[in-house]
Amino acid sequence: MRLLFAIALIVLALLLAAFLLFVRPAWSAPSCLTSEEKTLGRLQTLCSDGSRAVSTWKKTLERWESIITLPPGKRCTGQMHPKTRQLEGRCR
């Protein structure tokens, strides 16, 4: 009886581990890496979900402007934060 219980417990642990391996990427936020392209004078951000942002400094406006490219099949909504004046967005 103890042997069957131990085997059932091991099988259950393996099933739980497999489930967590498949579900975990959906729970985690994408990781992003920003690098400077000195020759083009811009910053480029690449994310693990396939999204990309290119930011350039506009000297006359004295601010950064960014162009965001979404991966295929993604939809995003955004709004301007009233205090920071930065775009806050959510993607699905």
Query: 85 is written with which tokens?
Result: 């004046």
Percent of the chain with pLDDT over 90: 7
Indicate the domain borders of the chain: 2-91
**Is 5:13 a contact under the CB 8 Å cutoff?**
no
Whether the per-residue pLDDT at 13 is higher than 70: the answer is no
Q: State pLDDT tens for residues 14-59.
A: 665 555 555 555 556 668 899 998 888 899 999 888 888 899 888 8
Whether the per-residue pLDDT at 2 is higher than 60: the answer is yes
**Quick one: pLDDT band at residue 75, thresholds 50, 70, 90?**
confident
CA atoms of 34 and 54, how far apart (whole Å) = 9
